[in-house]
Amino acid sequence: MVFAIALVIAIVATFVISAIASIIVRAVARRRDWAGILIRRARWPFRTVLLVGGTWIAIALAFPDAGWRPPVDHAFLIGMIAAGAWLVAQLFLFLADLGVSRYRMDVADNRVARRVHTQFQIVRRLVVVVIVILAVGAILLTFPGVRAVGASVLASAGIASIVAGLAAQSVLANMFAGIQIAFSEAIRVDDVVVVEGEWGRIREITLTYVVVVTWDERTVVLPCTYFTTKPFQNWTKYGSALIGSVELDVDWRISTDAMREELDRILEGEELFDGRTKVLQVTEATGGLVRVRVLVSAADSAALWDLRCLVREDLVEWIREQDAGALPQQRVLVGAEPADRTEAIERAVQRGATDAAAEPDRPVGEAPESRPATGSMPRAGLFSGTADGEQRASEFTQAIPVQRADEGDAGADGADEDRGAERPAEPDERAR
């Protein structure tokens, strides 16, 4: 009877104390969001600690000299250690959430936020693992037999650690790779990456694996060692802005000036275009076709994809509507007989004489009027024509500093040093 009354008192006291603590926290942080987070995180661990502790005290008061008390006390001690570890872990997770909440991910430039979120994901898992290990160790030390063999366990810890390391080599490698990823910032949460030929975003980084969600909402799970041993593309390492290309094969009769005007019309007022780069260049002219490459820039990879598709669709429609024959055509010149060839030459000569007669007379020795150059429109290339292009070119063509010889060298070595210092450094051909 006494035990039942004490147990009821312990349960009631648990909920009363928990409610009072909740009211105090809400009153202190009435205008703060963290109060609700703290209550949600620590409510049940705190109640568990109070309930286990209150029940233990009730049993101690009701049965002070009972013979079955030692094993019961041992069980309650284990329960208190487990509940205390749970409470400490939840308090740490609350502090971690409170710190991360200051860095928003739903802003345009969220590089710092992605770095903080990535590092906190790894750190919180490490701390929770450490708390669990310490709690398990404390529980084991409550058994007299474990304390007795503690010295021998410590003596053989070296050999045991070697055996355990060999047995769990892959697991440990992934764990260390996860820690390396978190603090080296090779990838961060919400980074846009290309792995195994798949384009996607980093959704989650753990101690052993990384979750990548592709553009078609598939989930790719890769071990952490993949990102430390294999090359991959990170499109948002230093920023989200990108440059993309659109290539079209057209006929030799295409007017590049008119095509540039059409590109200007397409990009004018387009929200997907960020205004940094807008280039149209002929990159190849072989095989009876002309290859035109259009470079455009956007604020992020998603906008760049849609912008490239938009430019490609509009240019294809424009080329299709051209009357001058801009669509690619295959030409075959069939060899003619000698007589037909002679007639063709005579017709060409007559046509040239007619054109010469139609031209106005000009003084002897005066050069003919120069024809307007092809592509009279101002041209903006990827590395020229604009301030951004010149800046981009300077990053690839900066002078390479010459390594000077030691000051103590003399004679021919000194002369070689002077000649080497006077000769300008050439840009790296591979960079070009």
Q: Please indicate, yes or no, whether residues 179 and 286 belong to a single structural domain of this protein.
A: no
Identity of the residue numbered 346: E
CA-based Rg of the chain, rounded to a whole angstrom? 38
**2 and 73 inside one domain:** yes
Whether the CB-CB separation of 193 and 202 falls below 8 Å is answered with yes
- Collapsed DSSP state (helix, strand, coil) of residue 418: helix
Query: CA-to-CA distance for 91 and 236, rounded, in angstroms?
Result: 33
With the C-alpha atoms ordered 56, 60, 62, 65, is the resulting torsion angle positive or negative? positive
Classify residue 236 by its DSSP letter: T
| CATH code, domain carrying 159 | 2.30.30.60
pLDDT of residue 176: 83
336 in any annotated domain: no
> 35 burial class (0-12, 13-18, 19+ CB within 10 angstroms)?
middle
Judge residue 224's burial from the number of C-beta atoms within 10 Å of its C-beta, 0-12 exposed, 13-18 middle, 19 or more buried: buried
Domain final residue, candidates 207, 224, 239: 239
Regarding whether 92 and 13 lie in a shared domain, the answer is: yes
Token pair 């030459």 in the structure block, residue = 345
Task: Count structural domains, the chain.
Answer: 3
431 assigned to some structural domain: no
CB 206 within 8 A of CB 120: no
Domain end point (choices 208, 239, 270)? 239
Q: Is residue 276 part of a domain?
A: yes
Number of Cα atoms under 13 Å in the Cβ half of residue 99? 14
Torsional class of 399: left (φ above 0), alpha (ψ -120 to 50), beta (otherwise): beta
Q: What span, in angstroms and rounded, lies between the C-alpha atoms of 153 and 91?
A: 32
Kindly tell me the burial class for residue 237, based on how many C-beta atoms sit within 10 Å of its own C-beta (0-12, 13-18, 19 or more): middle
Same domain, 163 and 83: no
Burial class (CB in 10 A: 0-12, 13-18, 19+), 232: middle
233 lies in the same domain as 253:
no
Query: pTM for the whole thing?
Result: 0.57
Note whether 152 and 220 are same-domain residues: yes
Query: Is there a domain that residue 27 lies in?
Result: yes
Clarify whether residues 174 and 225 are in a common domain. yes
Q: Which residue has the tokens 């690619």?
A: 328
User: Average pLDDT for consecutive 10-residue bins of the chain (432 residues)?
Assistant: 67 75 71 73 84 81 75 88 92 85 71 78 85 86 70 54 60 80 84 90 88 92 91 88 91 88 92 91 88 92 92 92 72 60 57 47 44 52 71 63 50 44 40 36
Tell me, what DSSP letter sits at residue 426? P
Of 239, 268, 290, which residue sits at a domain end? 239
For residues 39-49, b (16+ Cβ closer than 10 Å) or e, as one string? bebbeebbbbb
Instruction: Write the DSSP assignment of 65-125 as a string of letters.
Output: T-TTHHHHHHHHHHHHHHHHHHHHHHHHHHHHHHHHTTS-SSSS--HHHHHHHHHHHHHHH
Cα 209 to Cα 181, 214, 227, 382, 390, distances in angstroms: 11, 16, 10, 39, 42
Tell me whether residue 425 is in a domain.
no
Angle (nearest 5°) at CA 126 between 122 and 129: 140
Tell me, yes or no, whether 230 lies in a domain: yes
d(CA 401, CA 397): 12
Cβ-based burial of 7 (10 A; exposed 0-12, middle 13-18, buried ≥19): middle
Report the 10 Å Cβ neighbour count for 259. Answer: 21
What integer pLDDT is reported at residue 156 of this predicted model? 55
188 and 254 inside one domain: no
* Closest C-alpha among 25, 31, 137 to residue 91: 25
> Is 298 found in the same domain as 233?
no
With 0-12 CB in 10 A as exposed, 13-18 as middle and 19+ as buried, what is 27? exposed
| Distance in angstroms (rounded) separating the CA atoms of residues 293 and 248 | 7
pLDDT value for 429? 39
**Listed residue (73, 69, 244) closest to 142, CA to CA:** 73
Q: d(Cα 163, Cα 275) in Å, to the nearest integer?
A: 60
Residues 268 and 228 in one domain: no
The verdict on residue 190 lying in a domain is yes
Q: Which residue has the tokens 């021998």?
A: 152
Contact 180, 227 (CB under 8 A): no
Identify whether residues 221 and 180 lie together within a single domain. yes
Residue 101's CB is within 10 A of a number of other CB atoms, namely: 11
pLDDT of residue 330: 72
Q: Which domain range does residue 24 map to?
A: 1-102
Neighbours of 379 (CB within 10 A): 15
Check whether residue 75 and residue 147 sit in a common domain: no
In a domain, 114, yes or no: no
